[in-house]
Amino acid sequence: MPNTFARTAAIAALLAGAASGALAQEDNGSILVQSTTSTANSGLYDYLLPLFEDETGITVNVVAVGTGQAIENARNCDGDVLLVHAKPAEEKFVEDGFGTERTDLMYNDFVIVGPEADPAGLDGMAVVEDALALLAERSATFASRGDDSGTHKKELSLWSEAGIDPAAGSGDWYRETGSGMGATLNAAIGMGAYTMTDRATWISFENKQDYEIFVEGDDALFNQYGVIPVSPEACPSVNAEGAQTFADWLLSAEGQTAIGDFVVDGQQLFFPNAPEDDTAS
């Protein structure tokens, strides 16, 4: 009996060890991406990630939140890669030692949308600062994300460039939703308000009703995305190898081509623009 018990215990220990090893191997084969919502809501990851996973065997899990929250999560070492769209904040993240390197990945643009009736009279305006000034002058209802996302940061910078403090109209014509882009679009439509959205989310958004784009094409509405592997020096638990593999793939000729090939309703949502040195491989 003692020998049988010992043999059974040894087998159990071996099986437990094998299971633990398999789990560790599975963990090493996965990464967590802290991401802005627009890349997720547009369906980009649904298209890209299977291509990457099939080639590398690395599973990619995505947390899609506002850029500010994504950066904060990565600072807390909750993530292996950061993929967001607020360049000054991204550069600060790297300068503070939390990221290894920030690289331009792709771009699109922001647009201002509103109801077909266009109560503020924005139709035909080409300069976003002039459009914002008119919205403020006429106290036209405007829905802001108000969530420290990349879109919110950009919106605030545009108000500032226009010489307007929208906080003066907070709770009146300026409404802060504190939520993501899709929810803010739904809120804007419910209020009959104007709002600013990234074009990818707008194209993918299914509840447009009578809403349309009124302001677009201004260089000030340019929307750049960047990718940053989280630093293993700041976050020892990070999957540095997997993170770098993912970043390198996105920046490679193959990844850039895949980004450019992603379309919704016949429209390209993101335009790859990684530095040429990164797309050579």
What pLDDT digit, counting tens, does each position of 162-202 carry?
999 999 999 999 999 999 899 999 999 999 999 999 999 99
Collect the ranges in the chain with pLDDT lower than 50: 1-28
Closest CA relative to residue 83, chosen from 57, 105, 54? 105
Per-residue confidence (pLDDT) for residue 278, from 0 to 100: 67
Cβ distance 220 to 131 under 8 Å?
A: no
Q: What is the DSSP code string of 4-46?
A: HHHHHHHHHHHHHHHHHHHHHHHHHTEEEEEE-HHHHHTTHHH
**How much is the pTM?**
0.85
Cβ distance 103 to 195 under 8 Å?
A: no
* pLDDT tens digits, 188-240: 999 999 999 999 999 999 999 999 999 999 999 999 999 999 999 999 999 99
Rg of the Cα trace of the chain? 23
111 burial via Cβ count (<10 Å: 0-12, 13-18, 19+): buried
Per-residue confidence (pLDDT) for residue 277, from 0 to 100: 74
Q: Own/partner pairs for 71-75, CB < 8 Å, 24+ apart?
A: 71/34, 73/34, 74/34, 74/98, 74/99, 74/228, 74/230
Residue matched to tokens 């530095």: 275
**Residues sharing a CB contact under 8 Å with residue 75, sequence separation 6 or more, in sequence order:** 93, 96, 98
Residue 59 region by backbone torsions, left for phi larger than 0, else alpha for psi between -120 and 50, else beta: beta
Q: List the structure tokens of 81.
A: 């890669």
**Residues sharing a CB contact under 8 Å with residue 44, sequence separation 6 or more, in sequence order:** 200, 259, 262, 269, 270
Per-residue confidence (pLDDT) for residue 276, from 0 to 100: 87
Q: Has domain 28-107+222-279 been given CATH number 3.40.190.10?
A: yes
- Measured between alpha carbons, how far is 160 from 173 in angstroms, rounded to an integer? 17
- Measured between alpha carbons, how far is 225 from 102 in angstroms, rounded to an integer? 10
Q: For residue 80, how many other CB atoms are within 10 A of its CB?
A: 27
Closest CA relative to residue 105, chosen from 271, 217, 277? 271
How far is the first Cα of the chain from the last one, in angstroms, to the nearest whole number? 63
Instruction: State which fold the 109-221 domain adopts.
Output: D-Maltodextrin-Binding Protein; domain 2 (3.40.190)
Per-residue confidence (pLDDT) for residue 3, from 0 to 100: 43
Kindly tell me the sign of the dihedral angle through the C-alpha atoms of 185, 151, 93, 273: positive
Q: List the structure tokens of 83.
A: 């993929």
Per-residue confidence (pLDDT) for residue 62, from 0 to 100: 98
- Measured between alpha carbons, how far is 150 from 69 in angstroms, rounded to an integer? 10
Per-residue confidence (pLDDT) for residue 26, from 0 to 100: 41
In the chain, residues under CATH classification 3.40.190.10 are 28-107+222-279, 109-221
